[in-house]
Chain A
Amino acid sequence: METLEVGAESRPWNDLARRVWREYSILVVFATIIAVCGIVAPRFLGFGNISAVLLNASIVGIIALGMTFVVIGGGIDLSSGPVLATAAAALVQLQRMTHPDGSAVVPLPVAILACVAVAVAFGFVNGMLITKALLPPFIVTLAVGIIARSLVMYFCRGATIMGNDFPQFLGNETLFRLPIPFVILVVLAVAFHVLLTRSKFGSYVFAVGGNENAARYSGIKVDRIRVVTYMLVGLCTAIAAIIEVSRMQAVAAATQGYLYEFEAITAVVVGGTSLSGGRGRIIGTVVGCIILGIVSNMMIMLNISPYLAGAVKGAVILFAVLLQRRER
């Protein structure tokens, strides 16, 4: 360690190169992937295709933004997929109730607020169980996810419930020729980036994930920070749920949000956030989920069996993590 310091001092260029690589390696990898894809399948770079990739990456991407906070804070949330389904079901159930004259029983803004409340409440429960009952995040969120999936199955009787003419623009239209879900992802990403890097809260999340004891001895309310990160991923999940309902006009109790939590965690990890906490970046997460979207898209482009998608994604994860390990 002491020698590293000396080395860095006397070789500013070397140091700079290493820092640029450490900070922006994900972007280099990203550009390479796009270039390779463009060469292998020129259709890939078509505007329509790129736009489809971005649209498909957006919903998981939004969850991944919140997940980044949880993971940096030293936690993990395995309940996001089922929570998305539950929040979406709450939204649709409330939205489709109509009076005999056809007017809504529950105004749309109230239904949306209820959807947010459901997802944030799940986050709160996760956070409280983890910090107050001192249970490991992995188990708590796994169990809460199972409960959430079961609840949504019960309330929907295992079926798919249809919305009543839910506004479609959120999920299906474009703004400045970009799909609106992607625009929402970008806006949220900017906000979360500022939150993570400029706010005190962001610094405390890093501190809690980096060294919980030191954070506690510095007076940081460790438990509260933790709970808030889980509520934040709940909020993101609710936003993703609203977009998904707008796109699909329906909620499938059994499959809505299936494996989203794993895709979100994958995006976070591919984006360079350390699963052991204390390290990570929002921009990495955004790039991470686009990379995953590109992988799925290329599978179709190159006519590879969809059954192999998992194999390719797994390889991408390993490659990304390997790359980050080498830098250290």
Chain B
Amino acid sequence: MNEPATIDERALAPARAPTLRMQGIRKSFFGVEVLHGVDFSVDRGEVMGLCGENGAGKSTLMKILAGIHEQDAGTVEVKGTRVPAGANPREMQALGVSMIHQELNLLDELTVAQNIFLCREPRGRSGLIDFRRMNEAAAAQLEKLGEKIDPRRKVRELKIAQKQMVEIAKATSFDVGLLILDEPTAVLTGKETRILFDLIASLSARGISMVYISHRLKEIGDVCHRVTVLRDGHLVATRKVSEVTPHEIATLMVGREVKDTRAADFSGDPAAVVLEARGVSDGLLKDVSFQVRKGEILGFAGLVGAGRTEVMEILFGIRKPRTGTVLVDGAQVTVRNAMDAIRAGLGFVTEDRKDTGLVLCRDISENANYVRWQKTGGFFKGKRRTANASRRMIERLRIRCQGANQLVSSLSGGNQQKVALAKWLMAGAKVLILDEPTRGVDVGARQEIYDIIRELAAEGVGVVVVSSDLPEVLSVCQRVLVMHEGRITGELAASEMTEAKIMYCATDVRAGGEHGDA
């Protein structure tokens, strides 16, 4: 990986006004202050990390900067000039501030070039859009980023990393001075992430400042010069990354010491196999076989696209395997749909809770009971039993809410994830599959979810954790299987696990292929 421009370079020109200076920013929603006078500044060419738990005020601060919200008090200066209060996103863009949202804001049915030049298409003499000129300009913009995407392709056909490049090309096609990147690596594979980091370094060298928001603290250390931590709407600290460890950042975010634990080896009965897959294959997967024991926490590591989610979808009847059998408690089961899997005793907390996990417009109680209701007979829900069961689950999982009738959409990411978990705990699953269980979950709730996973295993549930977050695998899983391009390429017990060993199995280093990652 390229080293980003070093801090010393910028130290040579300390007299210059910083690209961004926000001072005393206050913001209230519905009479409650969520930012209590935050100062935030970014120097020219600097990559500033921005960390904080969900609800700490990161996104509110950035939305003020991007012109989406207006601050109640405080000033924003871009390149030394004061931004008038109430500037809209378009005006902020004209001032050189662009934001790349986590959920990319591209129009799928338009071409790459049309997206880049949306609403400012070059026009010919007739007043119609000059497509040739537009495509050339778009290609030039992409070229500058070292990206070769045909500007005439529809965005729908692009891979997610390419879409992100298009977003960046769009942002840099304005005379951009400050780029806000909101969790840009959440959807990228390892290789794509490295490309993005190189790009960030080169943009930084061109003098473009960036704000880099991420929950992945290690990345902050890799790509940023300084890091600012927010907690409960206050600025807690701004540090040079060279002087702070990811662990210290986490501690600053939570405001208390975060334990870095390592999982121990599985100590239960190795013969008590609760779930077994034998020779599962399809277009992508090649002869995937494994066993999960009662009370064991088994990890599935690997790069995005290695086939881990696909394995889980086959187990759960969402996807059809070409060959292979699944055994639960030693008996072969036929799984044609989710209900068959549920009947066999499986539970599946999916990767994307907004898409496949939760019905956001319904309350906690409903969401937590969907599976239980199907397992118990009867036409009616049973108001009291449902309410009691929900209340117990809310207490057990420490779901922070106003009550079981609160809509799931108004919960924070961590609490939403707990509701997704509650659904399966209520149904009494024998095997629980968790796909990226802490994606978009803040540090505090993350620990609670790990504790719940450990409790479940202690109660005898077989737990499968699919995770791309290696520290997570290391701290939770008693054994890990590593996948690469549809195959299981490695198996490690907790005592022999290291990030390096997992990455070794997850990449082509070992497989000997020439493709990095899918």
Contacts and interface: CB of A to CB of B under 8 A. Distances in A.
A215 interface: yes
Interface residues on A, range: 20 to 34
A214 B423 CA distance: 11
Interface string B83-114: 00000000000000000000000000000000
Contacts of B370: 203-204, 207, 215, 218-220
Interface stretch (B8-16, B24-32, B146-154, B205-213): B24-32
B293 to A, nearest CB: 25
Contacts of A279: 361
A214 B383 CA distance: 22
B60 A278 contact: no
Interface in B309-354: 316, 318, 337-339, 341-342, 348, 350
A278 to B, nearest CB: 4
A103 interface: no
Interface stretch (A9-17, A52-60, A86-94): A9-17
Majority SS at the chain B contact face: mixed
Interface stretch (B74-82, B191-199, B371-379, B467-475): B371-379
A308 B110 CA distance: 42
B361 A278 contact: yes
A220 B375 CA distance: 11
A198 interface: yes
B374 A217 contact: no
A4 B30 CA distance: 7
Majority SS at the chain A contact face: helix
Interface stretch (B404-412, B451-459, B499-507): B404-412
A134 interface: no
Interface string A228-266: 000000000000000000000000000000000000000
Contacts, number: 112
Contact of A218 (B29, B361, B423): B423
A230 B369 CA distance: 25
B383 A198 contact: yes
A217 B383 contact: no
Contacts of B342: 219
A201 B359 contact: no
Q: Which of A5, A9, A11, A278 has the most CB of B within 10 A?
A: A5
Contacts of B30: 3-4, 7-8, 11, 14
A211 B358 CA distance: 7
B410 A6 contact: no
Interface in A194-216: 198-201, 203-204, 206-207, 210-211, 213-216
27 contacts: A1-B409, A2-B34, A2-B54, A5-B410, A6-B34, A7-B31, A8-B30, A8-B402, A10-B31, A10-B32, A11-B30, A199-B381, A200-B378, A200-B380, A203-B369, A203-B373, A206-B361, A210-B359, A210-B362, A211-B355, A211-B361, A216-B318, A217-B350, A219-B337, A219-B342, A219-B374, A278-B359
Interface of B: 29-32, 34, 54-55, 60, 316, 318, 337-339, 341-342, 348, 350, 355-362, 366, 369-371, 373-374, 378-381, 383, 402, 409-412, 423
Interface of A: 1-11, 14, 198-201, 203-204, 206-207, 210-211, 213-221, 278-279
